[in-house]
Amino acid sequence: MDTTDLAIDGMTCAACVSRVERVLSRVPGVTQVAVNLATERARIVTENHPDVPALIAAVKKAGYGANRIGQAPPHKDDRLPLACAAALSVPLLAGMVIPSLMLPAWAQFMLATPVQFVIGWRFYVAGWRAARAWSGNMDLLVALGTSAAWGLSTWTWIATGHAHGLYYESSALLITFVLFGKFLEERARRQTGSAIRALMRLRPDTARVLRAGVETDTPIASVRVGDHVTVRPGERIPVDGIVIDGQAGVDASMLTGESKPIEATTGTHVAAGAIDLDGRLVVETTAIGAETMLARIVRLVENAQASKAPIQRLADRVSAIFVPVVLGVAAATCVGWLVVGAAPGVALIHAVAVLVIACPCALGLATPTAIIVGTGVAARFGILIRDAAALEIAHAVDVVAFDKTGTLTEGRPRLVDVVAFEGERDAVLGLAAALQSGSEHSLGRAVREAAPNGGAEATAFRTLPGRGVTGQVGGRALAMGNQRMMTELGIVVEPPVGDGTVAWLAETGTNPRALGYFSFADMPKPGAKQAIDRLRGMGLKTVMLTGDNAAAAQSVAIALGVDSFQADILPEAKGAAVAALRGAGAVVAMVGDGINDAPALAAADVGMAMATGTDVAMETAGITLMRGDPALVAAAIDISRRTTGKIREGLIWAFAYNVLGIPLAALGYLSPVLAGAAMALSSVSVVANALLLKLWRP
């Protein structure tokens, strides 16, 4: 499967979105299409290599513009047409408000006609394209409504010769209000993408590369992995890399949401976009271009903003039939007024009001604008949401399941006790350290750190997930792991009294036996208890899932106030435990950071991965938390609730506006001018309401 993004020009409402999706889905090879009105982009998933010219041709045949991302035409500046329309319409408005200022019929005609057919020509073009394809959109409704008002006025003037009973101000002011609404809407929509633009500005265009002791300013595209890059105080770090010389405070708040600077010294990993605060650093490049953390963050945010939330499907279904229904209602309105004895002009004006007030602009903007703002503000605080579905599901979560090690605890267990069954304590510790020489597990690192320097290294090393490790040390076959592993090896051990994590070292040759055991302690993360308390205060149940022994798990669960826990479970059993919670009717979020958490993250309704963990966990999860701070879990659920609330408010407003407005217009309580103003206000208010999410703080 290949994914292609196109910039779409000329969409004005939800009906346009439905039409563009429909024509793109008919192109051979296309399997999925999502069109976003707020970003004016289409994301197309195709089998094999996409036929981009065919995709662009299909969109253009439907009456819209299409270009590859980066080749899109600049946004048209609507200020001059809007100013001209306003200047020509104001004298007509004055005559409507103050009868003594009413202009002669010929003057009204001279003012309204340029607005109708020059400034408003765009509505005719777009409306005709829609009608030709047996479809409808906002432009068609505006073109029909204003043409009816202009045509009726011209016919009345020719037939009667006087200026009374004309509706030139309706046609001109309608176009002016629509243009003004689109102008405000466009300005507001540009603000919705401010977060992604801020992220894209973080990476410098050049890097200072150090070669043969000489610093050379080099375009960022020419930097390669392994290059040494120097960064001076106050500059942004241009690449992902490891500090090989120097010391400085580094501000990575725009990437992780962490306001406190980190202290970067030799061996510290730093990311592109972070700011060197107070010292010169030499960084060895480990990732460039699309592989940097900054690029991955931008990609995740863009993917989320381009995706379509499940709730949007309702608006799509409605908009697909909306315009034809409105045309039918307008025709019925006109006939109904004629039947009750109204003059043809009055009947037609009421039908015009129906056409105008029913434009489905707000319907198409409610969901995408809220998603864009919500995902953008979340990214500012270190919460990366992969897609709109994860954002929408997270608001309904009622159970949060946590991995223990590295998620609720520091993930850096310390070796607190060694008990030897055979030989000296240091000899057993040395064997264990040699066996763990090839391990990246946190317990293995703790053993190596506690053992004397030097010693043999293991051969034939193997990791058994959820159990332990095996290998050869000095010709001896050894295994180190939990009680489950010992039982599988046929070695009987009794867990010591205590609440720490325990691992046994055993020889597995001709005489399998335990050589000793090791006790570890892993402290809860600072703020973990407050994070659990916050979730419980939000009405959520918390569960801890761990492969650790029951005593260690119980100690952490009691200290943090977790509602329940399951211990001694394998990685695949974590996934089954999450599935069981879902089977009981719960909406489950799973929070983890390691490879062994991937099955549970995939099994949950929404997975949340700590970015301090593995890439596998991050790729499996719907939400990535850029800091290893459990407090971000509550923040992610909160921003999901706020964003979903804004989506619902926007959709309710859009539906209620039409449900109330159409009958009022049909019954004659709304003039076309008021209908046009209300239509413009509805779109602007939906976007402005979504922009309030920018005020959100964790």
Please give the pLDDT value at position 2.
83
**pTM above the 0.75 mark?**
no
Residue 616 sits in the same domain as residue 648: no
Residue 124 sits in the same domain as residue 211: no
Residue 472 sits in the same domain as residue 331: no
Q: Is residue 347 part of a domain?
A: yes
Q: 269 — phi, psi (to 5°)?
A: -85, 130
The strand ranges marked E within 108-258 are 206-211, 214-219, 228-231, 240-246, 248-251
Please give the pLDDT value at position 232.
92
CATH of the domain at 611: 3.40.50.1000
Residue 418 sits in the same domain as residue 402: no
Bridge partners for 287 per DSSP = 240
Q: What is the pLDDT of residues 486-518, one digit of tens each?
A: 999 999 988 887 667 889 999 998 889 999 999
Please give the pLDDT value at position 534.
96
pLDDT band at 578 (very low <50, low <70, confident <90, very high): very high
Residue 154 sits in the same domain as residue 84: yes
Q: 418 — phi, psi (to 5°)?
A: -130, 125
Average pLDDT over residues 348-354: 86
Residue 211 sits in the same domain as residue 181: no
Whole-angstrom CA distances from 31 to 47, 297, 311, 450, 523 are 7, 26, 21, 56, 49
Cα-only R_g, the chain: 33
Cβ(19)–Cβ(360) below 8 Å: no
- The residues that are catalytic are 403
Cβ(58)–Cβ(24) below 8 Å: yes
Q: Is residue 199 part of a domain?
A: no
Please give the pLDDT value at position 143.
84
Residue 328 sits in the same domain as residue 363: yes
Please give the pLDDT value at position 294.
82
Average pLDDT over residues 229-238: 92
Largest CA distance in the chain: 118
CATH of the domain at 432: 3.40.1110.10
Q: Of residues 527 and 142, which shows the higher confidence score?
A: 527
| Cα 692 off chain centre by | 17
Please give the pLDDT value at position 188.
65
Q: Is residue 376 part of a domain?
A: no
* Range among 55-59, 70-74, 350-354 rated most confident: 55-59
Please give the pLDDT value at position 391.
87
Residue 574 sits in the same domain as residue 541: yes
Pairing of strands 606-610, 501-507: unpaired
Domain residues for 237? Answer: 204-291
Q: Is residue 578 part of a domain?
A: yes
- Number of Cα atoms under 13 Å in the Cβ half of residue 40: 23
Please give the pLDDT value at position 332.
94
Average pLDDT over residues 100-118: 89
CATH of the domain at 55: 3.30.70.100
Q: Is residue 579 part of a domain?
A: yes
Average pLDDT over residues 613-622: 61
Cβ(581)–Cβ(401) below 8 Å: yes
The strand ranges marked E within 319-398 are 383-385
**697 membership: H or E segment, kind and range:** none
Q: Is residue 530 part of a domain?
A: yes
pLDDT band at 179 (very low <50, low <70, confident <90, very high): confident
Residue 474 sits in the same domain as residue 604: no
Q: Is residue 630 over pLDDT 50?
A: yes
Residue 425 sits in the same domain as residue 508: yes
Q: What is the pLDDT of residues 12-46, one digit of tens each?
A: 777 788 888 889 999 998 998 988 877 788 989 88
Residue 26 sits in the same domain as residue 11: yes
Residue 392 sits in the same domain as residue 537: yes
Cβ(280)–Cβ(363) below 8 Å: no
CATH of the domain at 213: 2.70.150.10
Please give the pLDDT value at position 165.
67
Q: Which of 255, 263, 207 is nearest to 235 (CA)?
A: 207
Average pLDDT over residues 443-461: 82
Q: Is residue 297 part of a domain?
A: no
Please give the pLDDT value at position 371.
86
d(CA 265, CA 242) in angstroms, rounded, equals 9
Which of 291, 315, 338 is the endpoint of a domain?
291
Please give the pLDDT value at position 619.
65
Q: Is residue 377 part of a domain?
A: no
Which of 471, 498, 521 is the endpoint of a domain?
521
Neighbour-count burial for 67-81, b at 16+ CB within 10 Å, e otherwise: eeeeebeeeeebeeb
The domain total for the chain is 5
Please give the pLDDT value at position 116.
92
Please give the pLDDT value at position 601.
86
Average pLDDT over residues 314-334: 79
Sheet bearing 214-219, strands edge to edge: 214-219, 206-211, 228-231, 281-287, 240-246, 269-270
pLDDT band at 319 (very low <50, low <70, confident <90, very high): low
Neighbour-count burial for 665-674, b at 16+ CB within 10 Å, e otherwise: bbeeebbbbb
Q: Of residues 339 and 673, which shows the higher confidence score?
A: 339
Please give the pLDDT value at position 616.
54
Which of 521, 543, 559 is the endpoint of a domain?
521
Q: Is residue 569 over pLDDT 70?
A: yes
Q: What is the pLDDT of residues 181-209, one digit of tens each?
A: 778 767 766 666 666 677 777 778 899 99
Q: Is residue 72 over pLDDT 50?
A: no
